[in-house]
Amino acid sequence: MAVKIRLARRGRKKAAIYDIVVADARSPRDGKFIEKLGTYNPNTNPASIDFSEDKAFQWLMNGAQPTDTVKAMLSYTGVLFRRHLQIGVIKGAITQETADARLAEWKEAKEAKIEGKRQDLGSAKEAAKKAAFDAETKVKEARAEAIRQREADKAAANAPAAEAEAEAEEAPEAAAEGKATTEEQA
């Protein structure tokens, strides 16, 4: 019986989440499986891969064949490198302590790389948010300036008319005052 480590789809439309399963190669994609190893969520950035590395390693050592996608995930998490080192130990090329040290060193480097990507994504997101806020502030200031300019233009356009009205109102008062001063003189 050929055994494969593969993905079984679940989740809603356009938001798939996958189970990492060990199944007979002849069974359908979402059908019967031997053992569930974990889950894979490609909707996050970076993608979330959560599975039992020890069980996957055990199945690989027993001859299970991973599909291309699962092989990439096993490589990403270091299970294939662990298998490679363990085969070296079995053949006598290296010792178990050396293999464990190399695997630990590789995992530390990989974790640092993943954490760096998360931080870069976070800082890029913050920078984009700040740029959008600055752009909104510029638009708001431009609109406020345009409104102030419109009000100043209206005031300037109404100023000659207001002066003419003020002069027109002052003229009868001045004429009335002029009559009053001439009557007083007589």
Asked if the model's pLDDT at residue 39 lies above 90, the reply is: yes
Going by their DSSP bridges, the two strands 35-41 and 48-51 should be labelled as: antiparallel
- pLDDT (0 to 100) of residue 179: 60
Which of 55, 62, 89, 66 is closest to 5 using CA atoms? 66
pTM passes above 0.85: no
The overall average pLDDT reported for the chain is 85
At residue 21, the pLDDT reads 94
Query: Around Cβ 61, how many Cβ atoms within 10 Å?
Result: 13
**Closest alpha carbon to 51 in 17, 24, 6, 20:** 20
Average pLDDT over residues 100-115: 90
> How confident is the model over 119-134, as pLDDT tens digits?
888 787 788 888 888 8
pLDDT surpassing 70 at residue 101: yes
